[in-house]
């Protein structure tokens, strides 16, 4: 059995492993320069695991021959990205206005984490919605 793995896939997997190891390091040693150990650890490990799983999924799809990209996929991704931008831009403007009107002071990390999660979930939702629609 011959494994044909691309250099890009190897780099992605190695980078994912480095992110996971960095997250474990932050969790175990709790360095003084890290203000939120749980947030940093969760972000690093989550990003590393996601990168590894996405790379392995793409590799499996490429090897099995089931992933065949065409111009339709690029158009769907373009539409989903634009719609996600519209949603997050409007949501950020609304949040900025509400926080400014009521002079609410929020820590940056939870607010950015919420916007990051909304961006990811809305992109996936719009991508599959447009894929089923087209």
65-111 confidence digits (pLDDT tens)? 776 667 888 888 899 999 999 988 998 888 888 888 888 888 877 88
If asked whether residues 6 and 45 sit together in one domain, one would say yes
Enclosing domain of residue 87: 70-133
Number of folded domains in the chain? 2
If asked whether residues 91 and 31 sit together in one domain, one would say no
If asked whether residues 3 and 63 sit together in one domain, one would say yes
If asked whether residues 124 and 89 sit together in one domain, one would say yes
If asked whether residues 62 and 76 sit together in one domain, one would say no
* Residue 1 pLDDT class (50, 70, 90 cuts): very low
Q: Which of 13, 43, 67 is the last residue of a domain?
A: 67
If asked whether residues 79 and 120 sit together in one domain, one would say yes
If asked whether residues 21 and 48 sit together in one domain, one would say yes
DSSP 80-107: HHHHHHHHHHHHHHHHHHHHHHTT----
Can you tell me the distance from the alpha carbon of 13 to that of 7, in angstroms, rounded to the nearest whole number? Answer: 10
Is 134 a residue whose pLDDT tops 80? no
75-95 b/e with 16+ CB inside 10 Å = b? ebbebbeebbeebbeeeeeee
Q: Is the dihedral of CA 79, 84, 87, 89 positive or negative?
A: negative
If asked whether residues 44 and 91 sit together in one domain, one would say no
Q: Is the dihedral of CA 10, 12, 14, 17 positive or negative?
A: negative
pLDDT of residue 64: 81
Decide if 114 contacts 63 (C-beta within 8 A): no
Q: Which of 46, 67, 88 is the last residue of a domain?
A: 67
If asked whether residues 75 and 19 sit together in one domain, one would say no
Question: pTM (2 decimals)?
Answer: 0.64
Question: Which residue, 14, 87, 22, 89, is CA-closest to 55?
Answer: 14
């Amino acid at each position: 059995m011959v494994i044909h793995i691309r250099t890009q896939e190897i780099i992605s997997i190695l980078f994912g492993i480095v992110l996971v190891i960095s997250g474990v390091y932050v969790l175990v040693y709790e360095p003084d320069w890290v203000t939120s150990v749980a947030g940093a650890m969760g972000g690093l490990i989550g990003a590393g695991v996601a990168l590894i799983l996405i790379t392995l999924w793409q590799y499996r799809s490429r090897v099995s021959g089931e992933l065949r990209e065409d111009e339709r996929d690029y158009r769907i991704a373009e539409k989903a990205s634009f719609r996600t931008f519209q949603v997050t831009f409007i949501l950020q403007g609304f949040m900025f206005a509400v926080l400014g009107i009521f002079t609410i002071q929020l820590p940056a990390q939870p607010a950015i984490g919420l916007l990051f999660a909304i961006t990811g979930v809305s992109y996936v939702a719009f991508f599959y919605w447009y894929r089923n629609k087209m």
